[in-house]
Chain A
Amino acid sequence: MELIVYIRCFKGIVLREALRFVHQKERFFSALVRPLVWLGIFAAGFRSVLGVAIIPPYETYIPYEVYIAPGLIAMIQLFNGMQSSLSMVYDREMGSMKTMLVSPIPRWFLLISKLLAGVFVSILQVYAFLIIASFWDIIPPISGYFTILPALIISGLMLGSLGMFLSSAIKQLENFAGVMNFVIFPMFFASSALYPLWKIEETSEWLYYVCFYNPFTYAVESIRFSLYSQINIEYTIGILVFTFIFLFLSILGYDPARGNLQKKGGK
C-alpha cells in the first residue's frame, strides 16, 4: 500500500478527532477546570502545610503550585487518554468503531493514528492550561514551552495506549466507570504528582515503591524535567518502556486473531 494512502488515513482520523473536540466544547472546558481547581484550591490550601526542598530540576525553593503543575499537566493527559478510550468503548458499543476496523489499512496503523489524534487534542488542552497557569506565576523558561512538547507526545501516547488497552478489555460502558476509579485515582495519588518521592519514602517505604514503579510518575517527571528544558535519562527510558508495553498490549487487544474483541462476542 502506498505511503500517501497512510497519510490520508492518518489525516482523516486526526481531523475527525479534532472535529469531535470542537463540537464538544464542554469537554474542553471540563478538562481545563479540573486542574485549575487543583491549582487554585488544593494547592493554595496545601502550600502552607507542605514544604518542598530543592530537588532537580528546580534550582531554588519553589511554591507548591509550581511543584504540582507538571502533575496537573499529566493529569490532563491521563483524563484525556481515559476519555479517548471511553469514547472507544462507546464507539464499539455504538458500532462506529467497526467502520474503522474494517478499513483495509492495517489495524496497528489505525489504532496508532487514533492514539496520536487523542494526544494532539491533549496537547492543545495542556497549552491552554499553561497559559492560564501563568496567572499563578507558574512560568517556566520560554524554552520550556517548546521542550515540553516531545515529553507530552510520549506521555500522551503512554496514557492513551493504556486507555486503549483497557477499552479492548472492557465489555461494556458501565464497567468502564469502575475502571476509571481503579485506574485514574490510584495512578494519580500514588505518584509524584502531588508530593515528591523522597517525602513519600519518609512516610512509607512500600508506598514509595508503588509510586516509584507507577507509570504515571514517569509521565509526571518527564514533563517536569522537560518543562525546565532538562532531560532525566532514567525517567525517559522508563516512559518509553511503558509506552511500548501498553501500545503492544492495546494492538494485541484489537487483533482479530488474538484479541479481546472476539472473546467478548463483539460486544
Chain B
Amino acid sequence: MTVALEIKNVSHKFGEFTALDDVSLNINSGDFTVLLGLNGAGKTTLYSLITRLYNNNSGSIQIYGFDVREDSVNALKNIGVVFQQPTLDLDLSVRENLQYHSSLHGISSLDANKRIDNEIVRIKLEDKIKNKIRSLSGGQRRRVEIARSLLHKPKLLLLDEPTVGLDIGSRQMILNHVKTLCKKNNLAVLWATHLIDEIDKGEKVIIIDKGKVLESGDVSKVIKKTKTKNIRDAFNKLVGIK
C-alpha cells in the first residue's frame, strides 16, 4: 500500500500559542480518513502546513514521498484541496471558475474543458455550468469546489470541514460523493470535521485535540482501545467531554 501523506513530528506555534504539538500521522492511498476534532483543535493549521500556506518549521510532511518544503512543486501537484471557507469567485460562472483553477495547474484549455465536462456530470450540475456562482446554493457551491479540487487529477484530497453550514441532504450527498471517489479512484482522502456522524464503521479516524493527536487508526480499533461503545463515546472520553 502506498503512503499518500506522511507527517512526522510536526509542531507549530503562533506566538506563544501552540497550535500543533508533535503531530505524526500516516494516510494510505485509497483510505478515507476522518480528522476529528473540536473547533480550534488544530485541523486548519495542519491543512495550512500540508498545503504550504504556512511553512513547517519542525518535523517533516511528505506527499507521495515528496517533501512539501524541499519539493513543493511535486508535492502540491498531488494535492486537491477544499478549504473550510468558500473559495470560488462569486462573480464568475462555474465554468470560468473551473477554467481558472485549471490554468493555475498549467492545464491546456482543450484538456481543461474536457475535464470540466466530466467533473460537472459527476457532481450533477451540467445545467448550472454557465451560471454565476452567486446564484448557486451552498451545497452546489461545495460540489463545484470538490469538482475543482479534482481537475488536476490529484492523488490526495484534503477537505477541511466541507459540510459545515449545509443542510442534511447536501451533507449526505457530498459525503457519499467523496467516499465513492475514494473507492473508485483509489484516492487518499483526509476529511476534517467536528461532526461525528460523518464517520462510518470500517473507516480510519484521527482524533485531534488542542494540537495533539490523541488516537488514530480504524474506528473499531479506537473504540476498543478506549473501551467505549461507539466512536462518539470514544471521542468524548478522549477529549474529556462529559
Contact = CB atoms under 8 A, between A and B. Distances in A.
B104 A100 contact: yes
Contact of A104 (B73, B86, B91, B92): B73
Interface string A233-267: 00000000000000000000000110001110110
B41 to A, nearest CB: 15
Interface residues of B, number: 39
A98 B87 contact: yes
Contacts of A98: 51, 53, 81, 83, 85, 87
B42 to A, nearest CB: 12
Given A102-B79, A257-B55, A12 B104 contact: yes
B185 interface: no
Contacts of A128: none
A4 interface: yes
B96 interface: yes
A88 B18 CA distance: 28
Nearest to A97: B87
Interface stretch (B20-28, B105-113, B186-194, B204-212): B105-113
A24 B89 CA distance: 13
B112 to A, nearest CB: 9
Contacts of B72: 104
Interface string B76-100: 1101010111111101100010011
Contacts of A49: none
A15 B103 contact: yes
Most A-side CB within 10 Å, residue of B14, B51, B89: B89
B88 A96 contact: yes
Interface residues of A, number: 36
Nearest to B44: A266
A16 B89 contact: yes
B37 to A, nearest CB: 17
A11 B14 CA distance: 36
A20 interface: yes
B52 interface: yes
B105 A16 contact: no
Nearest to A4: B106
B180 interface: no
Contacts of B100: 12-13, 15-16
A239 B87 CA distance: 35
A94 B103 contact: no
A186 interface: no
Contacts of A104: 72-77, 105
Nearest to B109: A8
Interface in A13-58: 13, 15-16, 19-20, 23-24
B108 to A, nearest CB: 6
A261 B77 contact: no
A6 B103 CA distance: 9
Nearest to B149: A99
A105 B89 CA distance: 20
A120 B54 CA distance: 30
Given A16-B89, A261-B54, A5 B79 contact: no
Contact of B101 (A19, A95, A99, A263): A99
B107 A95 contact: no
B87 A99 contact: yes
B51 to A, nearest CB: 5
A261 to B, nearest CB: 6
A1 interface: yes
A253 to B, nearest CB: 13
Ranked nearest first, the 4 interchain pairs of A and B with the lowest CB-CB distance are A12-B103, A5-B106, A95-B85, A104-B76
11 contacts: A8-B107, A9-B105, A16-B89, A16-B96, A98-B51, A98-B81, A102-B51, A104-B72, A104-B105, A262-B54, A266-B54
Interface of B: 14, 44-45, 48, 51-55, 72-77, 79, 81, 83-89, 91-92, 96, 99-109, 148
Interface of A: 1-2, 4-6, 8-9, 11-13, 15-16, 19-20, 23-24, 94-96, 98-106, 110, 256-257, 261-263, 265-266
